Amino acid sequence: MQLDQLYQEIILDHYKRPQGRGLREPFAAGVHHVNPTCGDEITLRVALDGETISDISYDGQGCSISQASASVLYELLNGRKVDDAFAVHAAFVELMGGKGQIEPDEEVLGDAVAFAGVAKYPARVKCALLSWMALKDAVAQAVALEKEEV
Amino acid sequence: MTALTIPAGMPQYDDKPRFDVERVRADFPILGREVNGHPLVYLDSGNTSQKPRQVIDAVARYYAEHNANVARSVHTLGTESTEAYEGARAKVAAFIGAPSVDEVVFTKNATESLNLVAHAFGPHARDPRFRLGPGDEIVISEMEHHSNIVPWQLLCERTGATLRWFGLTESGRLDESNLDELVNERTKIVSIVHMSNVLGTVNATARITARVREVGALLMLDCSQSVPHLPMDVVDYDVDFIAFTGHKMLAPTGIGVLWGRGELLNVMPPFLGGGSMIETVKMTGSTFAPAPARFEAGTPPIAQAVGLGAAIDYLNAVGMDAVAWHDKELTAYALDALDTVPGLRIYGPRVPVGRGATISFTLDKIHPHDVGQVLDSLGVQVRVGHHCAKPICDRFSVPALTRASFYLYTTTEEVDALVRGLDQVRKVFA
Ligand SMILES: Cc1ncc(COP(=O)(O)O)c(C=O)c1O
């Protein structure tokens, strides 16, 4: 098997030196997601500044794929407009569901293209998606709260 | 293993029953295949075992030559099929020393067997031993598989009874220090695992049995991991129920066993209702057949039972004493070998005594998913995660473990392949 396809340098790098890790204040919404089959866990918070995601902070435990994926997500989406972030999110989810058949667009996905290899391992796709699903959940909650307040 | 000289006149190591592992391996077609360009090293038998040709052929032959439904036909095929199914029951009964074949209930797996017994308890049970309500207690342990936790939790939710737990010692054995307080006059049933699927611990049951008898409770053993690996005699063990599952003992999936004392089975209510489990059905109500039919509603897993019978024939031919000794030698070898891996920590007994051939461990801070993935790239198949036994992970404060589990076809070379693989894991994540 092409193990290096799964464990690309970029992934190992993010795993060993995670970006943006740690829970921070203030935040508009926080969520806790778990992967029940393997026990990976993430707590993720988002802060909004108008249309912009002004902070994504997170903490969790799990395999290199799930942890690196959270770090890449932070790098890619922190400081982005909510709509832009959701577009990238959709591209990542599509890549992970593509069974390795989808050619990722580096312009859109940045370091997340390294996860293309993960899509070939059905057992690991959930690991890669954990933080992304948590982010979507948290942003949706934060946006809903903001609307209530207006 | 440290070589000890055993005094003359005592049983010597060479007296132990042995078998030729290579000849056994030749019976398992799957062991000849490759995984990711490497010879398959299957170290996940605690999860499910591989199947010898004898079992595969018995199932195929049943379908090719005898297939019909059981217990409801006068025709020849129906009779052959019934004989094959009931013949398998007789083999199971003999294998575990059951006093009567009618005490062997076929289920779909150990999980169903455990649920079936839990289901017999309730506030309205006819027999007082199964009557359960607030103030009554059920005792399990922190080393249970979820299959021996959740049915009892659900039962306690339904009835208001209290679920209590044996703790574990640091070395992964049952903590029996509070036995007399834990198992008391309020206890209705103690249901514990015979051999842990994570720690490998084989629980010595004598003291617990004695206490259970003293207070008049019932005793159930989850033998999912022990019956495949150790000789079992239900009379000797003086238990009331045991559960086990065919697929971990060379048989197909879809067949499990509940053994219970006949006298208890026949006062228990049915679990599922349907065909084959009734005495008579009237519009005003039904009466139920005695065990085992009472608990076997609907068309049973016939071919799977036949496969289980063939698996038992296979194990008997090798000899369960020999299987147990093979496990012991291999475990001793593996414990020593794993000890040489830097950063590796074993959870469970670290001596090959009172434990089976299942070893769980962590490797530095490397997540077991990553360990399992790198090992897979080398053809080595291990289980990673919480192993359906989350309380153990909580007890030892680890999110997940890597587990290697062996069986009669496992060799010391395969243990070596595991150790080499773990070196590779450490290189990737150094
Ligand atoms: C100790 C123990 N109990 C129960 C089970 C459940 O077996 P099954 O899934 O076949 O019902 C297992 C299998 O993983 C086990 O190891």
What's the whole-number mean pLDDT along residues B365-390?
A: 92
Q: What does the DSSP assignment read for B171-230? A: TS-B--TTHHHHS-TTEEEEEEESB-TTT-BBPP-HHHHHHHHHHT-EEEEE-TTTTTTS
Note the ipTM here.
0.81
For the entire predicted model, the pTM comes to 0.91
Searching chain A, which residue's CA lies closest to the CA of residue B377? Answer: A1
What gap in Å lies between CA B138 and CA A38, rounded to an integer? 29
B230 CA distance to ligand 1 centroid (A)?
Answer: 16
Min Cα distance A96 → chain B (Å) is 18
Percentage, residues of chain A above pLDDT 90: 73
CA atoms within 13 A on the CB side of A95: 24
Q: What is the pLDDT of residue B89?
A: 98
Residues paired with B285 in a beta bridge: B282
| Whole-number CA gyration radius for chain A | 15
B139 pLDDT more than 90: yes
The answer to whether B371 touches B419, Cβ cutoff 8 Å, is no
Within 8 A of B377 by CB-CB distance, chain A residues are: 1, 3
The answer to whether B364 touches B343, Cβ cutoff 8 Å, is yes
Closest CB from A37, A121, A124 relative to B385: A37
B272-316 per-position pLDDT tens digit: 988 878 888 888 888 888 999 999 999 999 999 999 999 999 999
Question: Which amino acid type is present at position B312?
Answer: I
Q: What is the pLDDT of residue A100?
A: 82
How many beta-carbon contacts under 8 Å exist across A and B? 51
Q: What is the pLDDT of residue A3?
A: 75
Report whether the peptide linkage leading into residue B300 is cis, meaning its omega lies within 30 degrees of zero: no
B46-92 per-position pLDDT tens digit: 999 999 999 999 999 999 999 999 977 789 999 999 999 999 999 99
Q: Which residues contact B172 (CB under 8 A, 6 or more apart)?
A: B143, B196, B199, B200, B201, B347, B348, B349
Percentage, residues of chain B above pLDDT 90: 87
A51-62 per-position pLDDT tens digit: 999 999 999 989
A43 CA distance to ligand 1 centroid (A)?
Answer: 31
What's the whole-number mean pLDDT along residues A65-71?
A: 95
Q: What is the pLDDT of residue B4?
A: 64
Positions of B annotated as catalytic residues are: 388
Mean pLDDT (chain A) is 91
Q: What confidence category does residue A1 fall into, taking pLDDT thresholds of 50, 70 and 90?
A: very low
From chain B, which residues contact A within 8 Å (Cβ)? Answer: 36-37, 367-370, 373-374, 376-377, 384-386, 390, 393, 399-400, 428-429
What's the whole-number mean pLDDT along residues A34-50?
A: 89
Q: What is the pLDDT of residue B3?
A: 58
Q: What is the pLDDT of residue A67?
A: 94
Mean pLDDT (chain B) is 95
Q: B293: how many CB neighbours lie within 10 A of its CB?
A: 18
Within 8 A of B368 by CB-CB distance, chain A residues are: 38, 63
Q: What is the pLDDT of residue B5?
A: 75
